[in-house]
C-alpha cells in the first residue's frame, strides 16, 4: 500500500472523495489555490484515488499536474515518535546510563551497537537491581565488572598511576576503614584475591602501605587527599594502581559500583515497531500493565529511528484535512476520522461525521463544489488565472452535465459564465471536449469501471454503494455488460455491501441505465422497467446520483424497514451487516 507523504508541521491536504470524479479533483486544486491567494500557507491539493481519461484530459488542457496521491492519512508511528533519541553505547557504564536517564528524564534508554543498531534497553529498575543491598550475599554487593579507566571516568578522578587500565574484569570493592590489625581478614575469609581488590581509603598511611604490600589491584584515595610521594613510588614499584577521588568514602564506594559495564543489565527482549506502522495498531502494545514503557522505532536495517512512548500516542497528529466534494466519513480518505478535519466544502447531503472542535463547513445546494469555490473567489475580489478558471469550469460542466442535469442551479450558470469570461473559452466548447475525452468503459478494465466515482452510503443500517460513469450512448455498456455485472458482484462482496449499483448515464439523451447486484428483496421493489433480467433497469431522465437515485433508493430502504422486511430477513441476509475482523 502506498504510504502518504509525511506531513510537515502546518501541512493541510485539500482532498476529495475516494475514487474521485472531475469535480472532486478540480475543486481540490481550486480551493488550495484560493488559500494561496489569500496568503494562507501549507495547503496542498490531494487525491485519494486514481485519475481517469476525463480528468487527465482536463488537467492536460489547462496545464496542471494531478494532485498528490494520498492513499491513507491514518496516523503513523513516524508522525508521533520522538526522533531526538537519547541512547547509550553498549560498552558504556552504569554511571553513564544513569546520568543520561537523569539528565533527560527518560524511563527507557536504548542501547546501541555499531550503525545505531539496537541491542537492547536499560531502565532505572534494571539499573537499580545492581545497587540494591543484598544482605544474604554480601560478596555480590562488592562486585564490579569494569576496568580502571571506567572507574576513573565514573569518579571524575585523577590518575596517579595506572596499570592495565583498560583490562575489563571482575573486581571487588573494599573499604579500608578498619584497624590495620583487621585489614584484609574479611577479604581472606571471602577468598578475594588481592589482584582483584580495589581498596577505598582516606589518608590512612598504614592501610595504604598494607594494601601495596599485599599487591591489590588498585587503591582509591578519597577526598583528593594526595598520598606521600614515597607511597606513590612504592605503588608503582609493586604494580598497584593509584587513583585520587574527589568524593568522600561512602560516595566513592557507590560511584565505583556504578562503573560496572551495562552489558550485564541490558534487557535484550525489547519491543520494536516500524516507523510506518499505524498508531491504532501499536496502541495495544503500549497498554498499561505488562506492556513496555516505550517502543523502539527501527528501520528495515534495525537502526534506531526514534522512540514511541505511551505519552507520545496521546499527542495531536499534525495531519490536517480540508474535505471537498463530500462530507461523509465513508467516502473520505482512509484514516480521516483519526486526524484533524479543519474544513468541509461540499454540495451533497449531510452525512454522519463528527469533529473534535467547530470547523468551517460550507454546504450549498448547487450542482458543483467548484461553483462554491469560484464564488468564494468572487466574494474576496480575487481573480483566478485563465487556466484555474478553466479547471473550475470543468468541474461545474462535469457535475451538472453542462447545466442540463437536474442538480444545476441558476448560481451554477452565473458562475460558469463568469469563469468562461476569465478563461476566454465558451462553456459549450469545453463541454464538447470533456464529454468526448474517451469512454471510461472502453479505457478501463471492468473492476476499475465499477469503482469509477464510487461512493458508499448507509441507510436504515444497510450499507450500499453507487458508482457512476458517463458515456456517449449505451453501446459500450452493452458490449461489456456481462463482465461489468461480474465485477460489480465482486465489488459488493469485497466491500461487504448489502447491494451495489452502477449508474451508466448517457450524456446525449440525459437517460441512465442502472445495474444492481445484491439483495433480491430490494431489487424486486425497484419500480423502473427491467431492461434485461432482473438486474438492469431503464431510468429515463435520471442523471443525478445525488438528487435522484440516492433519494429513491433511500425511500425503498425506509419502506422495507417500516414493513419489517429487514427484521424478517434470514440469519445470513445481506441486510445483516458483517463485522470486519478485529
Q: What is the pLDDT of residue 448?
A: 92
Q: Which residues contact 180 (CB under 8 A, 6 or more apart)?
A: 204, 206, 207, 210
pLDDT tens for 470-500 read: 888 898 999 999 999 999 999 999 999 999 9
For the segment 525-553, what is each residue's pLDDT rounded down to a tens digit? 999 999 876 689 999 999 999 889 999 99
C-alpha closest to that of 101 among 93, 89, 109: 109
Check residue 128 and give its pLDDT.
67
Residue 154 — φ and ψ, nearest 5°? -65, -40
Task: Indicate if the pLDDT at residue 571 is higher than 50.
Answer: no
All domains of the chain, ordered by start, with CATH? 12-75+318-435 (3.90.1640.10), 445-562 (3.10.310.20)
pLDDT at 2: 42
Q: Are 469 and 452 in contact (CB under 8 A)?
A: yes
Mean pLDDT of the chain: 87
Residue 540 φ/ψ, nearest 5 degrees: -65, 135
Beta-strand ranges (E) seen in 56-214 are 68-69, 88-89, 108-112, 118-123, 143-146, 158-161, 169-175, 197-201
Q: How far apart are CA 309 and CA 294, in angstroms?
A: 4
Beta strands in 411-484 (DSSP E): 455-459, 462-471
Q: What's the confidence (pLDDT) of residue 474?
A: 92
pTM of the model: 0.66
pLDDT at 173 over 50: yes
| Over residues 242-266, mean pLDDT | 89
Element (H, E) at 495: none
Res. 313 pLDDT band, cuts 50 70 90:
confident
Q: What band does 573 get if pLDDT is binned at 50, 70 and 90?
A: very low
- Please tell me the distance from the alpha carbon of residue 532 to that of residue 107, in angstroms, as a whole number: 69
pLDDT in tens, 184-224: 776 677 788 899 999 999 999 999 999 999 999 999 999 99
How confident is the model over 119-133, as a mean pLDDT? 74
pLDDT band at 354 (very low <50, low <70, confident <90, very high): confident
Check: CB of residue 190 under 8 Å from CB of residue 257: no
Indicate the length of the chain as a whole number.
582
What single DSSP character describes residue 415?
A: H
**Residue 229: pLDDT above 70?**
yes
**Residue 91 to residue 111: CA distance in whole angstroms:** 9
Residue 301 has pLDDT above 90, yes or no: no
CA distance 502 to 491: 11
Residue 186's pLDDT is 64
For the chain, helix, strand, coil in percent to 5 are 40, 20, 40
Query: Out of 10-14, 129-133, 179-183, 556-560, which region has the weakest mean confidence (pLDDT)?
Result: 129-133
User: Residue 259: which region, alpha, beta or left (left: phi > 0; alpha: psi -120 to 50)?
Assistant: alpha
Q: What is the mean pLDDT of residues 389-407?
A: 93
- For 32, 93, 387, 432, 461, the CA distances from 60, given in Å and listed in that order, are 19, 63, 10, 15, 42
All cell numbers assigned to 8: 510537515
What pLDDT was estimated at residue 446? 96
The pLDDT of 340-361, averaged and rounded, is 89
- CA angle 313/580/453 to nearest 5° reads 90
CA-closest candidate to residue 368, choices 407, 313, 338, 418: 407
Amino acid at each position: 500500500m502506498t504510504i502518504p507523504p509525511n506531513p510537515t508541521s502546518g501541512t493541510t491536504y485539500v482532498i476529495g472523495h475516494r475514487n474521485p470524479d472531475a469535480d472532486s479533483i478540480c475543486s481540490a486544486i481550486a480551493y488550495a489555490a484560493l488559500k494561496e491567494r489569500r496568503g494562507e500557507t501549507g495547503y496542498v491539493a490531494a487525491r485519494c484515488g486514481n485519475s481517469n481519461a476525463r480528468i487527465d484530459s482536463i488537467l492536460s488542457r489547462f496545464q496542471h499536474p494531478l494532485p498528490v496521491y494520498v492513499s491513507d492519512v491514518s496516523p503513523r508511528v513516524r508522525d508521533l515518535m520522538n526522533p531526538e533519541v537519547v541512547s547509550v553505547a553498549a560498552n558504556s557504564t552504569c554511571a553513564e546510563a544513569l546520568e543520561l536517564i537523569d539528565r533527560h528524564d527518560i524511563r527507557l534508554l536504548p542501547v546501541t551497537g555499531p550503525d545505531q543498531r539496537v541491542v537492547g534497553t536499560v531502565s532505572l529498575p534494571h539499573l537499580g537491581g545492581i545497587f540494591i543491598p543484598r544482605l544474604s550475599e554480601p560478596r555480590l554487593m562488592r562486585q564490579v565488572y569494569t576496568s580502571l579507566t571506567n572507574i576513573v571516568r565514573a569518579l571524575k578522578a585523577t590518575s596517579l598511576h595506572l596499570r592495565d587500565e583498560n583490562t575489563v574484569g571482575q573486581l571487588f570493592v573494599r573499604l579500608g576503614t578498619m584497624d590495620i590489625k583487621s585489614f584484609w581478614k574479611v577479604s581472606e575469609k571471602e577468598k578475594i584475591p588481592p589482584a582483584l581488590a580495589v581498596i577505598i581509603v582516606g589518608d590512612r598511611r598504614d592501610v595504604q602501605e598494607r594494601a601495596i604490600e599485599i599487591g591489590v589491584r588498585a587503591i582509591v584515595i578519597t577526598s583528593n587527599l594526595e598520598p606521600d610521594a614515597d607511597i606513590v613510588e612504592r605503588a608503582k614499584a609493586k604494580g598497584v594502581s593509584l587513583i585520587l577521588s574527589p568524593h568522600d568514602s561512602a560516595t566513592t564506594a557507590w560511584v565505583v559500583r556504578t562503573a560496572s559495564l551495562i552489558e550485564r543489565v541490558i534487557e535484550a527482549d525489547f519491543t520494536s515497531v516500524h516507523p510506518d506502522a499505524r498508531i491504532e495498531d501499536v496502541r495495544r502494545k503500549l497498554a498499561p500493565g505488562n506492556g513496555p514503557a516505550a517502543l523502539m522505532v527501527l528501520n528495515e536495517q534495525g537502526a534506531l529511528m526514534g522512540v514511541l512512548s505511551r505519552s507520545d500516542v496521546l499527542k495531536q497528529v499534525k495531519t490536517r484535512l480540508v474535505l471537498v466534494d463530500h462530507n461523509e466519513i465513508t467516502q473520505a480518505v482512509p484514516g480521516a476520522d483519526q486526524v484533524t478535519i479543519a474544513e468541509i466544502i461540499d454540495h451533497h447531503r449531510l452525512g454522519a461525521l463528527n469533529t473534535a472542535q467547530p470547523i468551517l463547513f460550507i454546504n450549498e445546494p448547487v450542482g458543483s463544489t467548484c461553483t462554491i469555490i469560484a464564488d468564494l473567489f468572487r466574494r474576496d475580489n480575487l481573480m483566478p488565472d485563465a487556466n484555474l478558471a478553466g479547471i473550475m469550469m470543468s468541474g461545474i460542466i462535469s457535475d451538472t452535465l453542462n447545466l442540463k442535469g437536474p442538480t444545476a442551479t441558476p448560481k451554477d450558470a452565473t458562475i460558469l459564465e463568469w469563469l468562461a469570461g476569465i478563461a476566454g473559452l465558451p462553456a459549450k466548447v469545453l463541454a464538447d471536449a470533456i464529454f468526448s475525452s474517451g469512454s471510461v468503459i472502453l479505457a478501463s478494465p471492468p473492476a476499475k469501471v465499477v469503482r469509477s466515482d464510487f461512493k458508499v452510503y448507509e441507510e436504515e443500517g444497510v450499507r450500499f454503494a453507487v458508482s457512476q460513469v458517463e458515456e456517449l450512448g449505451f453501446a459500450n455498456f452493452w458490449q461489456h455488460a456481462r463482465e461489468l455485472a461480474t465485477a460489480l458482484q465482486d465489488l459488493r462482496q469485497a466491500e461487504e455491501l448489502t447491494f451495489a449499483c452502477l449508474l451508466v448515464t448517457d450524456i446525449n439523451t440525459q437517460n441512465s441505465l442502472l445495474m444492481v447486484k445484491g439483495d433480491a428483496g430490494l431489487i424486486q421493489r425497484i419500480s423502473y422497467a427491467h431492461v434485461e433480467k432482473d438486474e438492469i433497469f431503464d431510468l429515463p431522465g435520471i442523471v443525478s446520483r445525488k438528487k435522484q437515485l440516492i433519494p429513491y433508493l433511500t425511500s425503498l430502504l425506509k419502506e422495507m424497514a417500516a414493513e419489517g422486511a429487514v427484521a424478517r430477513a434470514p440469519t445470513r441476509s445481506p441486510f445483516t451487516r458483517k463485522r470486519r475482523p478485529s
